[in-house]
Amino acid sequence: MNKLDQLPSKKILSLFMTCGFPTLSQSKKVFDEILSHQPDIIEFGLPFSDPMADGPIIQESSKIALKSKITTKQSLNLIAQLKKNSQKTAFVIMCYLNTVQKFGVQNFIKEIKNVVDGIILVDLPFEEEKSIKNLLDKNNIHLIKLISPMTDQKRSKRLLKEAKGFVYYISATGITGSNKLDYKEINKNVLALKKQTKIPVLVGFGIKSKKDVMAISKNTKADGVIIGSALIQKYFDLKMNFTKYIISLRKFIKEVKI
């Protein structure tokens, strides 16, 4: 059974957080807090030295996590540990391919099997995915598809043909944490995608507040949203005061659960 196959039909909330941020032990507390709100999906970012598709905030979180020398194995152990107390939320890993390759694709899948429901490999495009996708399929882990405003309909049709879990629609051309949202354009593209697939279409990149979440829900037919940078930003806003950070996370997640 894969939790991504049982997502609600509306207002899906997916929350992204970097593993090991700010430190390995504090990271556990951050995830405990996030998971206590039972979001539909949680995305665990594995820190990478060269996150070329990420904006400054997620980059910084990666850098801070790597400073305390977190390893891939430690991240995966943390995720497995969190899984024990979390029955409702679907678990997704978001990372760069080199992390998986270096760990060994087979080994990696063995570690996350029965723990993780899906994986987003940011820099693994459709053209290169075949062998990894086969292995993931065999282990009931969904390879999540990213679609960008640059993806034309012909291409999205090919990409979505065998897509499972959900579609990650990048709401603006840009890196994570970018700021412009054009609801008309988003809705047009979301509608087109929904004609091509039955799985939920989630909008991510640039969603920062309850207002943004409400606006997406009101102005588009998207099935939900993904929030990442905004969760991490708070830590820097609060001058890295961890206690205050946890409190503000709590408040923020309550707000964006609409």
Partner 1 sequence: MKNYNQPNTLGRFGDYGGMYVSETLMPLLIDLDQSYQKIQKDKKFQKELKDLFKNYVGRPSALHHAKNLSAYLNGPKVYFKRDELNHTGAHKINNCLGQILLAKKMGKTRIIAETGAGQHGVATATVCALFGLPCHIYMGSKDIERQKPNVFRMKLLGANIIPVESGSKSLKDAMNEALRDWIKNVRDTFYIIGSTAGPHPYPKMVRDFQSVIGKEAREQILKIEKKLPDYLIACVGGGSNAMGLFYPFLNEKKVQIIGVEAAGKGPKTNQTAATMTSGTPGILHGSYSYVLQDNDGQIKEAHSISAGLDYPGVGPEHSYLKDIKRAKYYGVTDKEALNAFQLCSKLEGIIPALEPSHALAYLIKAFKNKAKGKTIILNLCGRGDKDLFTAAKAIGFDADE
Cross-strand bridge partners of residue 92: 43, 118
Quick count: other Cβ atoms within 10 Å of Cβ 131? 9
* Contact pick of 23, 26, 77, 99 for partner 1 (by CB under 8 A): 99
Beta carbon of residue 102, minimum distance to partner 1 (angstroms, whole number) = 3
Is 72 among the residues that bind partner 1 (CB under 8 A)?
yes
Site for partner 1 in 186-225 (CB under 8 A): none
User: Which one of 3-11, 34-42, 66-74, 130-138 is the stretch in contact with partner 1 (CB under 8 A)?
Assistant: 66-74
Contacts of 198 (CB under 8 A, 6+ apart): none
* Contact pick of 1, 106, 131, 152 for partner 1 (by CB under 8 A): 152
Look up 32 and say whether it is catalytic: no
Which is closer to partner 1, CB of 88 or CB of 102? Answer: 102
Is 31 among the residues that bind partner 1 (CB under 8 A)?
no
Is 44 among the residues that bind partner 1 (CB under 8 A)?
no
User: Which one of 27-35, 92-100, 132-140, 233-241 is the stretch in contact with partner 1 (CB under 8 A)?
Assistant: 92-100
Beta carbon of residue 100, minimum distance to partner 1 (angstroms, whole number) = 8
User: Which one of 123-131, 133-141, 214-222, 235-243 is the stretch in contact with partner 1 (CB under 8 A)?
Assistant: 123-131
Beta carbon of residue 147, minimum distance to partner 1 (angstroms, whole number) = 6
Is 36 among the residues that bind partner 1 (CB under 8 A)?
no
Q: How far apart are CA 213 and CA 56, in angstroms?
A: 22
Contacts of 92 (CB under 8 A, 6+ apart): 4, 14, 41, 42, 43, 44, 116, 117, 118, 119, 120, 144, 165
How close are the terminal C-alpha atoms of the chain, in Å? Answer: 27
Is 125 among the residues that bind partner 1 (CB under 8 A)?
yes
What is the total residue count of the chain?
258
Look up 255 and say whether it is catalytic: no
3-class SS at 172? coil
Long-range contacts of 59-68 (CB under 8 A, 24+ apart): 60/232, 60/236, 61/18, 61/21, 61/22, 61/232, 61/235, 62/18, 62/21, 64/21, 64/22, 65/18, 65/19, 65/20, 65/21, 65/22, 65/23, 65/27, 66/20, 68/20, 68/22, 68/23, 68/24
Is 182 among the residues that bind partner 1 (CB under 8 A)?
no
Interaction site with partner 1 (CB under 8 A): 48-50, 52-53, 55, 59, 63, 66, 71-72, 96-99, 101-103, 122-128, 145-152, 155, 159, 170, 173-175, 178
Catalytic residue positions, numbered: 43, 54
